[in-house]
Amino acid sequence: MIKIIDGKKIAEEIKRELEKDILALAKKGVIPSLAVILVGEDNASLVYVKNKERVAKEIGINYRIIKLGDKISQEELEKVIEKLNQDKNIHGFLVQLPLPAHLDSQNILSKIDPAKDVDCFHPENVGRIFAGNPRFLPCTPAGIIELLKRNKIEIVGKKVVIIGRSNIVGKPLALMLLAENATVTICHSKTKDLKAETLQADILVSAVGKAGLIIADMVKKGATVIDVGMNRDNKNKLTGDVDFEEVSKIAGAITPVPGGVGPMTVVMLMRNVMIAVNN
């Protein structure tokens, strides 16, 4: 019997846990605060920012959106970041990506105080994951590992295949799974025989953004399939990288899209805000 991994349900459980911690802090006169810098009017970014606002307000985190025009200069944006670095009332903040093309994203992210970098993109925080001493964990990879653990899916000693090598999901997830004692393979656009690799996976993670990439004959019977893809089909319906209908006949457990990894990403951000409060 296929197990559908319910990200919405687990995200709700974590929200309730965070609420208790936030209430305990409130009794000490501390209200966790999160700020988000939004540059321009990218539609997807607006949706993500609103989702973060909704969850923050639900659990009692102060939330501030700083909206900036898409013509802002690198220097001006860096000044906004420095103000937030110095603001003792803001525990954590992030710059919503993507940024307009004229801005140097890597340089911008490196200007964030590492102790307030709740998206975990600052080079120092990335390096700490590599060294096995993380301050924060990147939100989507952390959400994936939480889904596995709360569904009692064994990680130790398992063969994990990750498709996608982005700095946001693929690379940090590989490091985090290594820390959990999995055996990890990363596949990408230059991988010679993708099917041969995926058929070895006890846990298969697809984080590419290509609808229909993973079909049933690429999945080992009983494997756990984690779909991080976010795509729109020809009817504008949200879909992942995995052919859910066919792969669910083969897999032992699978995440749906929507309702799988997505809700976890936002609650892991809120967990990072709580870590920042205690830094």
pLDDT (tens digit per residue) in 159-174: 999 999 999 999 999 9
Catalytic residue among 96, 113, 202, 243: 96
CA angle 78–84–88, rounded 5-degree value: 155
Domains and CATH numbers, the chain: 29-114 (3.40.50.10860), 139-262 (3.40.50.720)
What pLDDT shows up at residue 277? 97
Catalytic residue among 113, 117, 119, 202: 119
What pLDDT shows up at residue 151? 97
Cis peptide bond N-terminal to 98, omega within 30: yes
What pLDDT shows up at residue 77? 98
pLDDT band of 124, cuts 50, 70, 90: very high
Structure tokens given for 274: 């709580």
**Mean pLDDT computed over every residue of the chain:** 96
52 is catalytic: yes
What pLDDT shows up at residue 42? 86
What pLDDT shows up at residue 69? 96
Report the half-sphere exposure of 46 (CA within 13 A, side-chain side).
5
Residue 1 has pLDDT above 80, yes or no: no
Taking alpha carbons only, the member of 92, 153, 143 closest to residue 276 is 92
71 is catalytic: no
Residue matched to tokens 């032992």: 252
The rounded distance, in Å, linking the Cα atoms of 126 and 168 is 10
96 is catalytic: yes
Taking alpha carbons only, the member of 188, 189, 240 closest to residue 211 is 240
Backbone phi, psi, residue 274, to 5° = -65, -35
Greatest alpha-carbon span in the chain: 57
Q: What is the mean pLDDT of residues 92-104?
A: 96
Structure tokens given for 175: 């490091």
**201-254 confidence digits (pLDDT tens):** 999 999 999 999 999 999 999 999 999 998 887 777 889 999 999 999 999 999
Q: How many CB atoms lie within 10 A of CB 143?
A: 30
Residue 179 has pLDDT above 90, yes or no: yes
What pLDDT shows up at residue 233? 78
Catalytic residue among 52, 158, 171, 220: 52
